[in-house]
Structure 1
């Protein structure tokens, strides 16, 4: 059974949990957190992003009952990326546990992730989520156990530029988070910007084929807005290219390609790109022509920045 940190000592794990209008799911998520098995100390930091439902009062009730729970309240809705950074800035644990508060944790999620991090000297550990048609009241999260397919990558950036590591099912070292600067504060949803930025500084990333969260039907998710996804994916990679000119040319090409891919998908879903211009840029990239730098993306960035119906961060 996990415990709160002893007085004057840093905890092993800090849960950093942004919340916006999760009142329906929060009691069930928190129950799965309290049910965590294993010998580790923790603190739990909820960051309320100006919820308009009962989330804040529910969080306050958690804090009133448990001395390891802290609630950070905010008067304006800034977005999960900024709120995750805000919570991490106050964390004291060696590791940060990063999850969505409308999912259910496997009972041994943290214990297994900690063991993998320590056994493989990894500063990033990623698990998987499994969707269920059950409501959150009826959903169950099973044990992970020991039969796990574990892959380790010393070139974390190369792995992150692959596929399938965008769920918020992370255990990462706090030192790494701080070194990377956390989430991109210019992108509303952090799902892709966080692992990308972390990977540039990581020693080793673990991609484990284990289900650490059950994802029930708990209401609306930011990720169901496809245009928001395309917008945030484009800006994530375009910003990263601009901030890191030192990245090797083969990786720059992959990053540039992700930007073009995001623009093409946005065009398919109704964004007003010039079709000929976009397809010519795509073909040029495919055959290795043109420079893979942010200048070549500026006209696409302009379209994304002027899309309506997109949620953008509000910086403090």
Structure 2
């Protein structure tokens, strides 16, 4: 196969019931020549038949690459593994149980070319439908990508980026288990320009038992620690800092609120949350450090350094 134009990449954990449907949606992308697409799946030590299912698919289609892992490290690590194995000029990251409209790859590629952007995001929603992106969907171009990403609270997969940009950004933050927040932030920080499709380009299936979004504490924890390192960046634009801190305060408050500990709004953490929302008051460095220490003690939260066989 010639060098692909686009590599669809995914991390897989116990998705045997839906991963072939996801692969078929990727194979059926319109407007991209079949020999210009490849599909890279990294199985994160699934306990179901996901790996066997994918290996059978690879036997029938040489464009499908399957990488097996002996230990479960989480999607941040495995998406990076998939990106490292990909050879396309562009990467399109997709969760193994989600859906991409049939015209998404072509639309995102055209948007990247038309706006000279190495990174293209769009809206996502949870729905059983998977509708084409409207041909006249509006595009917003941002020349301050990190600020835009932080203000719009961009998360999820289903984005297109140049493979070189992924390499420069370092991919997902492997100190954080879930990649949803760190990837958009890190890619945006490394990008010179970002384009956002003001319509739905990505669809999430109904939550299954293995869906990480079922663990709200994991979501809060990973959101907090994906955001926190950016506050150490020199020359961070004030608007970006305010947007990042707003999300950090929200994630920290929600993590403590949902931990089962009584957290009235008039507590110190609640007061910081309310004042940040009302007038933009920012927590002190010490307060953020204390909050980070509390979140590191949360139970039921996975971290990539905690290897699970």
**TM-score between the two structures when normalised by the length of structure 2:** 0.89
Instruction: Work out which of the residue numbers 203, 206, 216 in structure 2 matches 1:226.
Output: 216
Q: Deviations over 1:112-147 (max 9, x none)?
A: 110100011111111233323x5xxxxx52322412
Deviation at 1:164, TM superposition (A): 4.7
Structure 1, gaps ≥5 residues long: 135-139
Structure 2, gaps ≥5 residues long: none
1:29 aligns with 2:22: yes
Instruction: Work out which of the residue numbers 296, 305, 308 in structure 1 matches 2:299.
Output: 308
Q: Deviations over 1:224-244 (max 9, x none)?
A: 2211111111111112223x2
Partner residue in 2 for 1:66: 61
Paired with 1:238 and 1:288, the residues of 2 have a C-alpha distance of 17
Q: Is the 8 A contact 1:154 1:204 kept in 2?
A: yes
Partner residue in 2 for 1:98: 93
Q: Is the 8 A contact 1:14 1:92 kept in 2?
A: yes
Q: How many residues align?
A: 301
Q: Is the 8 A contact 1:273 1:300 kept in 2?
A: no
Deviation at 1:296, TM superposition (A): 3.5
Residue range with higher mean Cα deviation, 216-225 or 66-75: 216-225
1:38 aligns with 2:27: no
1:268 aligns with 2:257: yes
Q: Is the 8 A contact 2:58 2:64 kept in 1?
A: yes
Over aligned residue pairs, what C-alpha RMSD do you find?
A: 2.2
Deviation at 1:30, TM superposition (A): 1.2
Deviation at 1:182, TM superposition (A): 0.8
User: Secondary structure at 1:46's aligned position in 2?
Assistant: strand
User: Secondary structure at 2:201's aligned position in 1?
Assistant: strand
Instruction: Work out which of the residue numbers 102, 106, 111 in structure 2 matches 1:111.
Output: 106
Paired with 2:152 and 2:245, the residues of 1 have a C-alpha distance of 15
Paired with 1:42 and 1:169, the residues of 2 have a C-alpha distance of 16
TM-aligned CA distance change 1:112 to 1:315, over 3 Å: farther
Paired with 1:235 and 1:55, the residues of 2 have a C-alpha distance of 30
Q: Is the 8 A contact 1:272 1:303 kept in 2?
A: no
**TM-score between the two structures when normalised by the length of structure 1:** 0.87
1:297 aligns with 2:292: no
Paired with 2:198 and 2:238, the residues of 1 have a C-alpha distance of 30
Q: Deviations over 1:185-216 (max 9, x none)?
A: 11111111111111112121111123333333
Q: Deviations over 1:64-117 (max 9, x none)?
A: 111111111101110000111111122221111011111222111101110100
Partner residue in 2 for 1:147: 136
Residue range with higher mean Cα deviation, 272-281 or 82-91: 272-281
Residue range with higher mean Cα deviation, 268-277 or 195-204: 268-277
Q: Is the 8 A contact 1:46 1:72 kept in 2?
A: yes
User: Secondary structure at 1:200's aligned position in 2?
Assistant: helix
